[in-house]
Structure 1
């Protein structure tokens, strides 16, 4: 296999971003390994619409890591994770967090299995399944879905996976007033936190919803 390297400046951009978010610089090497693999596979399999590795640093890695202050331990199901976002960066940053990467697309699931293997992520597993078909009721403390549907839509397909009183952590752009108003009965907004992602323009919010 020929050596596949990232363009100049990518590592520096990641290290600057981690520093700005007050995250450990030791996260950079495994994150770069993941990014290198994603960039290589993306050229053949189109795993993500973002093609520029420098843009991936901001929009994939740092954006995913903006969630990590709200997740330390327990179990997390990452629904419709695509090539492993935010689940793989979170598994790297939070070794005590057990992450299940839920994705029905076979190419993306194969990529994630290879990434988990190469990174030696003992706290991550791939579930090649649609979220609504995953037969693991009440198995998770936390649920997330970074690029998937409305809050009510996420709950509809994945709410059965949460333990009683578990939390949905959803990444949104502007404050989602309409989505919050349409939450199903019993689901309550715990908080909405504005997030700052280095290099990312526009608003970003984390919506934390507690289940019944």
Structure 2
């Protein structure tokens, strides 16, 4: 059964990468599939994701994260409210030259992420359990980007992270439909730089990436 699921997910991944015009080597693809295997195993006990069907995990979690690659810039990223590590872990695997801090206040989720870091050998990942308002980076280097998926509202995201914004820091918010009301409710010192509609293979519904910055 597990081998059958793995084969299906590998086929889904390779097809999706082709649709996204992304090239990942065999080791990266295997790491992504190993991550999904860990997610499926831990999800039974820890309820890490509401998507219970593992046959949907490639599209909903991996391809959904990787679809932002053409639009993000930089080397040093913070993934806020990362949950089970999305989009942080798929992006850390796909972009090994980048560094990622995965931040979540939920201890069960950070324990899972720590296991992923060890099992997958992700030397470019740091796991931190903290609320965003209380988080203080270990280095004075500014983040190039702050990512989030389904993390409260845009206003809550930028307000919680505002002390972490350097002069060039951008926020990358993964959303479903374009959140018009959330955009209108942004604090005056933040602006939407770009709003991209994403095409995620085998994923129903609209997906958008909003890139925000300080005005």
Once structures 1 and 2 are overlaid, which stretch shifts more, 156-165 or 26-35?
156-165
> What secondary structure sits across from 2:166 in the alignment?
strand
- SS of the counterpart of 1:209? strand
The answer for the alignment partner of 1:98 in structure 2 is 99
Q: Distance in 1 between matches of 2:129 and 2:2?
A: 27
Q: What residue in structure 2 maps to residue 111 of structure 1?
A: 112
> What is the Cα deviation at residue 55 of structure 1?
0.7
How far apart are 1:73 and its partner, in Å? 3.2
Give the gaps of 5 or more residues in structure 2: none
Q: Which residue of 2 aligns with 1:61?
A: 62
Structure 1: give runs of 5+ residues left out of the alignment: none
1:21 maps to 20
Moved more, 41-50 or 134-143: 134-143
For the residues of structure 2 that align with 1:142 and 1:16, how far apart are their CA atoms?
28
Summarize the Cα distance change of 1:143–1:25 in structure 2 as closer, same or farther, 3 Å threshold.
Answer: closer
Q: How many residues align?
A: 210
d(CA) in 2 for partners of 1:72 and 1:15? 24
Q: SS at 2:57's partner residue?
A: helix
Cα separation, 1, equivalents of 2:125 and 2:106 = 17
- Give yes or no for contact 1:34–1:115 (8 Å, CA) kept in 2: yes
Please say if residues 24 and 94 of structure 2, whose CA atoms lie closer than 8 Å, have aligned partners that are also in contact: no
Q: Which residue of 2 aligns with 1:32?
A: 33
List structure 1 runs of 4+ shifted beyond 6 angstroms: none
Q: Cα 1:16–1:107, aligned 2, differ >3 Å: closer, same or farther? A: same
Cα root mean square deviation, aligned: 1.8
TM-score (norm 2): 0.91
How far the C-alpha of 1:144 sits from its partner, in A, is 1.2
What is the CA-CA distance between 1:135 and the residue it aligns to?
1.5
Alignment partner, residue 121 of structure 2: 120
Tell me, yes or no, if structure 1 residue 83 matches structure 2 residue 84.
yes
Deviation at 1:159, TM superposition (A): 2.0
Matches within 5 A, 1:39-188: 39-136=40-137, 139-188=142-191
**Cα deviations by residue, 1:85-139 (Å, 9 ceiling, x for unpaired):** 0000010011121110001111110110110111111111101111111013773
In 2, the alpha carbon distance for the partners of 1:72 and 1:121 equals 20
* Distance in 2 of aligned mates of 1:85 and 1:72: 17
Three-state SS of the structure 2 residue aligned to 1:206 is strand
